[in-house]
Amino acid sequence: MRLDIAVLPGDGIGPEISAAGVGVLEAVAARFGHAFRYRYAHCGAEAIDRMGDPFPEETYGVCRAADAVLFSAVGHPKYDLDPAAPVRPEQGLLAMRRRLGLYANIRPVQVFPQLACLSPLKEERVRGADFVCIRELTGGMYFGEKHEGADVAWDTNRYTRPEVERILRVAFRTAMRRRRRLTVVDKANVLASSRLWRRVAQEMAPQYPEVEATFLYVDNAAMRLVQDPRWFDVLVTENTFGDILTDEASVVGGSMGLLPSASVGDGTPVFEPVHGSWPEAAGKDIANPLAQVLSVAMLLEHFGLADEARAVRLAVQASLEAGVRTPDLQEPGRRPCGTREVARWIAAHVLSGGAGGAGG
């Protein structure tokens, strides 16, 4: 297979983990006989510094022309610490989602057996947790009408029936491929927009009789994620709730550096880790590349390359088993590995099929 891939390294640790993702893609291409072509483009703070825009028109063109986007991270303290900054790196991410029509963010959460002891929750609560969060990505308060004055401000949480229907279709279909349990998260006891979500979900549920659809208020869902993350199979919610809940879910497995994601919709799909740019760690070779590597697995799976995706996931599991881990995951008393070392090890394992050549 031939794929044109837009690569957006972004800010902070982005270039380091981006290189890890591309290295694994190259190993996949070599082993399975594919041809992947890469075009690099600017986004985030580095794009503001270079071009005055966090998602320049040139970058949009590269993304639109590609088969997929491998994105890493955006963000920089000089913008975080300035509430009056007229342009922010994160605006580039929102612009990319909006302009590419990416309305569904899919975040699988899996607790690796080797890392269950690292979870901030009790090991017996998290071991075996395996669920998918589906977040609506282009509606709600992030994109609704806004006003910001000296003494009053507002953000409008607006949703239309078609927007709700299309994200719920993604959620129901995802549940059909898994354990057929769907949890719709809202705040229907307070918010009119949530009552629309619940009403539409109830109307659509009979179209998927094999799926058990349940409803939770967002505060209850947040508690359930901590009390028993194994209870969930597929969780779907609106943009703002999804942002918060998926970050909460990301630490269940022991590190935010483990969670990949796919953003899909009408245009070029984007595959990215859910963590931020961690600028304090940039250039120190300590960033965990696994979320980026697992995002590569999601990219491959999106194009029907199931064996290739499985090879990447097996390599990640093997690296954890072998103790080839960055500092955030390493066991006490064992030498932590750098970003590049972990990435090379995984790429070698993919290339060799696990039959040697992956020694660390």
Give the catalytic positions in this structure. 142, 187, 219, 243, 247
| 103-127 per-position pLDDT tens digit | 999 999 999 999 998 899 999 999 9
Q: CA-CA distance, 113 to 210, in Å (whole number)? A: 30
Q: Are residues 122 and 250 in the same domain?
A: yes
Tell whether 327 is covered by a domain: yes
* DSSP conformation class of 54: S
- For residue 317, give the CATH number of its domain: 3.40.718.10
Query: What sign does the CA torsion over 335, 336, 340, 344 have?
Result: positive
Q: Is it the case that residue 356 has pLDDT exceeding 50?
A: no
Report the predicted TM-score, pTM, of the whole model to 2 decimal places. Answer: 0.92
Q: What's the domain count of the chain?
A: 2
Q: Are residues 157 and 196 in the same domain?
A: yes
- Choose the final residue of a domain: 244, 264, 284: 264
| 241-289 per-position pLDDT tens digit | 999 999 899 889 888 889 999 999 999 999 999 999 999 999 999 999 9
Q: Are residues 125 and 37 in the same domain?
A: no
Note the pLDDT of residue 152. 94
Q: Are residues 255 and 309 in the same domain?
A: no
Q: Give the model's confidence band at 355: pLDDT under 50 very low, under 70 low, under 90 confident, else very high.
A: low
* Residue-range definition of the domain harbouring residue 144: 104-264
Q: How many helices (H) and strands (E) does the chain have?
A: 13, 12
The neighbour count for residue 247, using CB atoms within 10 Å, is: 16
Alpha helices in the chain (DSSP H): 14-32, 45-51, 57-65, 77-80, 89-100, 123-126, 161-176, 192-204, 218-227, 239-250, 290-302, 306-321, 339-352
* DSSP conformation class of 338: P
13: amino acid identity, one letter: I
Q: CA-CA distance, 278 to 16, in Å (whole number)? A: 11
Separation in Å, CA 133 to CA 88, 107, 138: 26, 5, 16
Q: Are residues 225 and 333 in the same domain?
A: no
Percent of the chain with pLDDT over 90: 87
| 174-190 per-position pLDDT tens digit | 999 999 999 999 999 99
Q: Are residues 194 and 183 in the same domain?
A: yes
Backbone angles phi, psi at 264, to 5 degrees: -130, 165
Q: Are residues 86 and 235 in the same domain?
A: no
Q: Are residues 127 and 252 in the same domain?
A: yes
Q: Are residues 32 and 43 in the same domain?
A: yes
Contact indicator for 64, 100 with CB cutoff of 8 Å: yes
Tell whether 258 is covered by a domain: yes
